[in-house]
Structure 1
Amino acid sequence: MKNKQFLLVVIPLIIFVLTGCEDIISLKVTDSEPQLVIDGLITDQQGPYTVRLSTTAPYFANRATPPVEKARVILTDERGSTEMLTEKQPGLYKTAEFQGRIGGNYTLSVQVAGETYTARTAINRVPDIDSIGTVFRPETDDRDAGYFLTFYGPELPGNSDQYRIKVFRNDTLLNNPELDLFFFTDDFIDGQYLNGLELSAGPFQKGDRARVEIHSITSETYRFLVELQRQLRNDGLFASPAENVSTNITNTNTNGKPATGWFGGSAVRSKTIQIR
């Protein structure tokens, strides 16, 4: 997320423009101390699973976030299975044999620079996808003509379930936060059949290959995505001040350096179609 210092600069600049003041104001932006960022996901599909470690960078730094190398990254479950991940690329750690499963509970431990960070998640149940359809939509002022995907499948009755849907075009994840970050809870559709739920990702064209994945997510991940989406869409003149998005990464030393990021767990079902 953008540094709060940047927001403190933007607000006075907006006031400066609106009031027409002609004084020249020099503003010095101080950089916040870099934080460790942990990004990981475990699923019920065949691994390897990946954990990415990096550090935050100053807002105006025109470079990728620096990777964190030579960390000790360990994944365990409630049954006692454990594995130390291998650093395949700078800051990119992968499992070799660890296997996630529905109903499993998982703990991630990251030891780096004298600090130990932990995060916990679970893999919840997920429904099957019966089929994926398409519907053609003509061109509009803000959208090209093309085919949009429709989802058909059951929602599992009982419990409280949350899901995220990911859409891929020709094996590339569609990742526009305004259109493609699609997640929901079953609070009002528990046990119902999703009969032609139209997905906003697209449009697709004839010849494209589309893959749709439905991921189960925990209630904690659902709340994290709600906060993330709120921040991503928080723009305009009267936007509210930015806030730090929640994290499930905890330093075992309460007086140690904090970290940010998210470690999630998902069961995944998918369906692929060719647009004809």
Structure 2
Amino acid sequence: MPFAVVKLVRDERDDFFESMIRIKYILFLMVPFLLLYSCEKVIDVDLNEADPAVVIEGNLSYLEGELEVNISKTGSYFGTQPSEKVENAEVFLETATGLRINIEEKGQGVYKRKRLQVFPGETYRLTATVGETQYTAVSTLYERVQIDSLGYKYYGKNRFFDGGYHILLYFSDPPDQKNYFRVRIFKNEKLLNETSDIVVFDDSGLEGKGIQVRLQGQTFKAGDTARVEMLAIDENAWEYFTTFREMANINPGSPAPANPVSNFSNGALGYFSAWSHDTKSIVIEP
């Protein structure tokens, strides 16, 4: 199973402590069915048709002051049609002071509101009403954690990755609090890891220390510009993204895994995440 490596190192450039842990490097794999062939027989794994479920993905960005919510319905397990986009839903954001803000529909299941005043340390409630059912989730917004610097190092090809430069992310973990992170990686301003290989980790055992993260899931070549966004997320969002890991570790013949843990009520899939972020860029030079 591929994974990114978090190192704490001490060298002439910094005073990071030497250690290593695995972060949750998520590979989102959809395996609808498995056929095992032999010269004697064929084994079919049966999967039941699933009823459509509401899927809500809400992201509240602190720096942009923007909330975007995408609402859809899952299709039949074996269906060929894309997910149905949910229109005419009622979507609201509620602040800690009780202020209720309407989120405007933009079409194709997208609901968006800009220029929102949101504040770190506060908890926000997102409510979406689809038909006669109301779905609610809460998320706490944390202060952004600054990226100290980016580096890179060349690694040869192995069984998991092509040869190339891997990005090294350096930051100092805030002390006296539990922190959860998600990392987005861009190559020449193209996002590389949105759904297929989400990177999330926490600071267990590393609180208040200097941390180096080797982002080995993506490779770069000389002349590329790498940009890294490090999002400070809350535990609910972290749990949602890390449970994707279970879907990547399905053994042949095992029951289908449970859905990723959602923070929405009434059986909706998806997540609501309020987050702040820091970003830095670096040009790969040979």
Q: Same fold (TM over 0.5)?
A: yes
Matched, 1:186 2:223: no
1:71-86 matches, cutoff 5 A: 71-86=89-104
CA distance in structure 2 between the aligned counterparts of 1:93 and 1:210, rounded to whole angstroms: 30
Note the C-alpha offset of 1:19. Answer: 8.8
Q: Name the structure 2 match of 1:20.
A: 40
What whole-Å deviation, never above 9, does each CA across 1:217-252 have from its counterpart, x for those lacking one?
212222222211221x1234365641222211113x
Matching residue's letter, 2:98: G
Matched, 1:264 2:273: yes
Q: Secondary structure at the match of 2:237?
A: helix
Whether the 8 Å CA contact 2:70–2:109 is kept in 1: the answer is yes
Aligned CA distance change for structure 1 residues 79 and 188 (closer, same or farther; 3 Å): same
Note the C-alpha offset of 1:73. Answer: 0.6
CA distance in structure 2 between the aligned counterparts of 1:163 and 1:250, rounded to whole angstroms: 24
Q: Name the structure 1 match of 2:69.
A: 51
1:123-272 matches, cutoff 5 A: 123-175=141-193, 180-194=197-211, 196-231=212-247, 233-237=248-252, 239=254, 241-251=256-266, 258-272=267-281
Q: Secondary structure at the match of 1:61?
A: coil
Kindly report structure 1 stretches of 4+ aligned residues shifted beyond 6 Å.
1-4
Give the helix-richer structure, 1 or 2: 1
CA distance in structure 1 between the aligned counterparts of 2:174 and 2:220, rounded to whole angstroms: 29
CA distance in structure 1 between the aligned counterparts of 2:180 and 2:271, rounded to whole angstroms: 17
Matching residue's letter, 2:87: E
Note the C-alpha offset of 1:134. Answer: 1.0
Q: Name the structure 2 match of 1:66.
A: 84
Moved more, 111-120 or 96-105: 96-105
Whether the 8 Å CA contact 2:50–2:77 is kept in 1: the answer is no
Aligned CA distance change for structure 1 residues 112 and 197 (closer, same or farther; 3 Å): closer
CA distance in structure 2 between the aligned counterparts of 1:106 and 1:47, rounded to whole angstroms: 13
CA distance in structure 2 between the aligned counterparts of 1:204 and 1:137, rounded to whole angstroms: 10
Q: Secondary structure at the match of 1:158?
A: coil
Note the C-alpha offset of 1:206. Answer: 2.0
CA distance in structure 2 between the aligned counterparts of 1:112 and 1:142, rounded to whole angstroms: 42
CA distance in structure 2 between the aligned counterparts of 1:162 and 1:29, rounded to whole angstroms: 35
Return 5+ residue gaps in structure 1 as ranges: 252-257
Q: Secondary structure at the match of 1:189?
A: coil
Aligned CA distance change for structure 1 residues 181 and 2 (closer, same or farther; 3 Å): closer
Whether the 8 Å CA contact 2:241–2:260 is kept in 1: the answer is no
Whether the 8 Å CA contact 1:167–1:212 is kept in 2: the answer is yes
Moved more, 147-156 or 98-107: 98-107
Aligned CA distance change for structure 1 residues 3 and 168 (closer, same or farther; 3 Å): closer
1:113 equivalent among 115, 121, 131: 131
Q: Secondary structure at the match of 2:85?
A: coil
Matching residue's letter, 1:188: G
The sequence identity of aligned pairs, in percent, is 27
Note the C-alpha offset of 1:205. Answer: 1.4
CA distance in structure 2 between the aligned counterparts of 1:267 and 1:95, rounded to whole angstroms: 17
Note the C-alpha offset of 1:137. Answer: 1.5
Q: Secondary structure at the match of 1:150?
A: strand
CA distance in structure 2 between the aligned counterparts of 1:105 and 1:97, rounded to whole angstroms: 18
Q: Secondary structure at the match of 2:243?
A: helix
